[in-house]
C-alpha cells in the first residue's frame, strides 16, 4: 500500500471548456481539466489541488481528470498547486495530503476584522496594529499579525463614517471612520485578536480592543467533479460531483 510520483510528468491544467460561443470558449465555473503523463501502468492516479485531494481516476489507463478548483477570493486569480500521484487499488480513498505537502486534512480560515476609529478621535492617531494569541488565550503584543502598520489616514486623508446604530446613535465624522484587516489563514480553534491604535512614534494611544473568535476548519472540496451531460442545442450542461464529507 502507498503511493508513488515516479514516472509522472507533464502535469497540465486548464479550465474545463464546454463550448465555443462567437469564437470565445465557455468554461464551466470552478472546473479544471488536469492531464499528465505517467509510466505507472496498472495503478490509478489521484489529483490534489492546493494540497487537498480533489479526485481519483476510474481506470489505471486514465491520464485525464476533471476536478473542482478554488472559488471565491481564492478563485481564478489565486495560485494553483497541482499534484498527481499513482496509488494502489486499495488506496483509492486514502488521503495522502499530509505526506505530500504538509497541508492538514482540514485547514483553517482567514478572519476579517472591522473597527471604528473611536468615539473621541485622538489627534495623534497615526496607525493600527493587529495582534493574535496563537490560540494560547493571551494576546502576544510583541509580534503583530499585520506585516506593517495599518494607516489611519490612507493617502494622508482621514476617512469619514456615519452612525451605525440607527437614527442619532453611533459615531459620525472622523471618529466613525471604519477600518478593516484580513488575517492570513489561521489554524482552527479559539483565538483572541486585538487592535491597537498608535501614534507616529509607535506609542499605544488607548487600551487594546480584544475580541474572541472561533476559527472553523475549511470544508474539504467536493470530489469526482464531472460533466454528466451537455446539450449542444440549448448549450446547457449538467454537472455532477461527490459532495464534501464535511458538509
Q: What is the pLDDT of residues 39-49, one digit of tens each?
A: 999 999 999 98
The β-bridge partners of 2 are none
| Residues listed for the chain | 247
Same-fold call for 3-106+220-242 versus 112-215: yes
Query: Nearest-CA neighbor of 247 among 214, 224, 227, 219?
Result: 219
Confidence of residue 168 (pLDDT cuts 50, 70, 90): very low
Calculate what percentage of the chain has a pLDDT beyond 90.
Answer: 29
pLDDT band at 35 (very low <50, low <70, confident <90, very high): very high
Contacts (Cβ under 8 Å, ≥6 apart) of 159: 174, 177, 178
Rg of the Cα atoms in the chain: 24
Q: Per DSSP, which regions of the chain are E strands?
A: 3-4, 8-21, 24-38, 44-49, 52-56, 64-68, 82-87, 112-116, 127-132, 150-151, 178-182, 189-198, 209-215, 223-231, 236-242
- pLDDT at residue 165 in the model: 45
Q: What pLDDT does residue 196 have? A: 92
What is the architecture, at CATH level 2, of domain 112-215? Sandwich (2.60)
pLDDT average, residue stretch 122-147:
90
Question: pLDDT class for 136, splitting at 50, 70, 90?
Answer: very high
Which CA distances in Å does 7 have to 39, 45, 231? 5, 12, 38
Determine the topology of domain 3-106+220-242 in CATH. Immunoglobulin-like (2.60.40)
Nearest-CA neighbor of 30 among 64, 55, 83, 66? 66
Could you report the per-residue pLDDT of 76-113, keeping only the tens digit for each?
Answer: 445 578 899 999 988 988 888 877 765 555 556 788 89
Name the DSSP letter for residue 217: P
Query: Cα separation of 153 and 162, whole Å?
Result: 17
Res. 124: pLDDT tops 80: yes
Q: Which residues of 16-40 are buried (b: 16+ CB within 10 A; e: fewer)?
A: bebeeeeeeeebbebbbbbebebeb
Confidence (pLDDT) at 1: 58
Q: How far apart are CA 107 and CA 105, in angstroms?
A: 6
Mean pLDDT of 126-150: 92
Name the residue with higher pLDDT: 152 or 120: 152
Question: What's the confidence (pLDDT) of residue 77?
Answer: 45
Q: What residue segments make up the domains of the chain, in order of their start?
A: 3-106+220-242, 112-215
Amino acid at each position: 500500500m502507498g503511493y508513488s510520483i515516479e514516472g509522472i510528468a507533464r502535469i497540465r491544467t486548464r479550465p474545463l471548456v464546454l463550448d465555443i460561443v462567437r469564437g470565445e470558449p465557455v468554461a464551466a465555473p470552478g472546473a479544471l481539466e488536469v492531464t499528465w503523463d505517467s509510466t505507472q501502468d496498472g495503478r490509478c492516479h489521484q489529483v490534489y489541488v492546493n494540497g487537498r485531494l480533489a479526485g481519483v481516476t476510474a481506470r489505471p489507463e486514465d491520464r485525464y481528470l476533471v476536478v473542482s478548483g478554488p472559488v471565491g477570493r481564492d478563485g481564478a486569480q489565486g495560485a494553483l498547486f497541482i499534484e498527481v500521484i499513482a496509488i494502489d487499488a486499495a488506496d483509492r480513498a486514502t488521503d495522502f495530503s499530509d505526506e505530500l505537502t504538509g497541508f492538514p486534512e482540514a485547514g483553517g480560515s482567514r478572519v476579517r476584522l472591522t473597527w471604528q476609529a473611536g468615539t473621541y478621535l485622538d489627534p495623534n492617531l497615526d496607525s493600527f496594529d493587529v495582534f493574535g494569541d496563537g490560540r494560547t488565550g493571551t494576546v502576544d503584543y510583541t509580534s503583530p499579525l499585520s506585516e506593517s502598520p495599518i494607516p489611519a489616514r490612507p493617502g494622508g486623508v482621514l476617512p469619514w463614517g456615519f452612525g451605525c446604530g440607527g437614527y442619532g446613535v453611533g459615531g459620525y465624522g472622523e471618529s466613525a471612520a471604519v477600518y478593516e484587516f484580513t488575517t492570513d489563514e489561521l489554524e482552527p480553534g479559539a483565538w483572541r485578536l486585538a487592535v491597537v491604535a498608535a501614534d507616529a512614534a509607535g506609542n499605544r494611544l488607548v487600551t487594546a480592543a480584544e475580541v474572541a473568535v472561533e476559527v472553523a476548519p475549511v470544508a474539504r472540496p467536493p470530489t469526482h467533479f464531472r460533466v454528466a451531460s451537455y446539450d449542444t442545442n440549448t448549450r446547457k450542461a449538467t454537472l455532477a460531483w461527490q459532495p464534501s464529507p464535511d458538509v
